């Protein structure tokens, strides 16, 4: 399918503005640019928003808790932001967290895990798993239901959701669902058809993915399933999943490969490719109207699984 007209317009506008590639920027500058691209959106009103810090494996982890209107206890969705494990934070995940809180009628706990290169693999995965365990053990503090837990994330956050689901299979707690949005699943190769066809020109590029991986994990570490969940030997027993990919995304094929392996392992999974879309659509519902049904699909899947 051709690129969606809204994305044609968006990419043309970005090309006209110009500017350096992310992989050519200092990390701090890249983080600030990402915050400008994905700002907070308090206009998406939820019942309450609360920031706090929780204990982590190497110090406190900042989190932001979004609670829907109504009476709890509510199901809980752990939200892990995208940004290649290098950029992104509570600000950049704010809009999607609010949308999921409203649409899924669930408490969303957004996790500000440690970033590379200051904190390389497996720091991000360890923080995200610690946040899941904290949520399960402290539900009485925020009105959650420990029997209705899910993980969700986009891009690197999708990677961390898949990884945390694998970790929880071994050590608990029990998850009801995993929402994997254009997830990174394999750092061992950059030669899939989608990497070749979408290497540049669609916001996320091959060069930027190499840059992210180089800052996050070395070649040997990328063979670890906690970095590349597609390389896990056994995917059986994992929670049901929705895997969402974009046609014009370097990560399309590895996300769909993960969905296929889940299905082969007997996991209930739905894998959907959004034709005409590019990487990042989950965070663009306020600027690219065509992406709104994708957000609705994600929220409906979470709501169904958690209720």
User: Catalytic positions, please?
Assistant: 155, 249, 279
Q: Compute the distance between CA of residue 157 and CA of residue 151 in angstroms, rounded to an integer.
A: 9
Q: Compute the distance between CA of residue 210 and CA of residue 8 in angstroms, rounded to an integer.
A: 25
Which tokens hold the place of 92? 């950049």
99 and 68 Cβ atoms separated by less than 8 Å: no
Count Cβ atoms below 10 Å from residue 173 Cβ, excluding itself: 13
99 and 203 Cβ atoms separated by less than 8 Å: no
Count Cβ atoms below 10 Å from residue 297 Cβ, excluding itself: 17
113 and 160 Cβ atoms separated by less than 8 Å: yes
Q: Compute the distance between CA of residue 85 and CA of residue 28 in angstroms, rounded to an integer.
A: 13
């Amino acid at each position: 399918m051709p690129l969606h007209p809204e994305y044609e317009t968006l990419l043309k506008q970005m090309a006209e503005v110009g500017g350096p590639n992310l992989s050519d920027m200092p990390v701090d500058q890249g983080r600030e640019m990402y915050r400008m691209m994905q700002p907070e959106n308090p206009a998406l009103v939820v019942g309450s928003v609360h920031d706090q810090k929780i204990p982590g494996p190497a110090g406190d982890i900042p989190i932001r808790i979004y609670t829907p209107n109504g009476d709890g206890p509510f199901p809980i969705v752990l939200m892990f932001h995208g940004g290649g494990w290098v950029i992104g934070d509570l600000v950049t995940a704010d809009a999607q967290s609010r949308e999921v809180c409203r649409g899924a009628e669930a408490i969303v706990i957004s996790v500000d895990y440690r970033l590379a290169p200051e904190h390389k693999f497996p720091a991000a995965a360890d923080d995200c798993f610690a946040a899941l365990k904290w949520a399960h053990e402290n539900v009485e503090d925020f009105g959650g239901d420990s029997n209705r837990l899910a993980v969700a994330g986009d891009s690197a956050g999708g990677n961390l959701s898949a990884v945390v689901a694998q970790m929880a299979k071994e050590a608990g707690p029990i998850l009801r669902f995993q929402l994997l949005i254009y997830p990174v699943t394999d750092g061992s190769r950059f030669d899939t058809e989608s990497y070749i066809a979408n290497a540049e020109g669609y916001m996320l590029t091959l060069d930027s993915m190499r840059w992210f991986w180089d800052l996050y994990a070395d070649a040997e570490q990328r063979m670890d399933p906690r970095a590349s969940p597609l390389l896990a030997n056994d995917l059986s027993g994992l929670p049901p999943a929705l895997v969402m990919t974009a046609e014009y995304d370097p990560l399309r094929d590895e996300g769909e490969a993960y969905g296929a392996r889940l299905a082969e392992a007997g996991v209930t999974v739905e894998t959907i490719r959004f034709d005409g879309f590019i990487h990042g659509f989950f965070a663009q519902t306020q600027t690219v109207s065509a992406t709104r049904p994708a957000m609705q699909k994600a929220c409906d899947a979470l709501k169904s699984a958690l209720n």
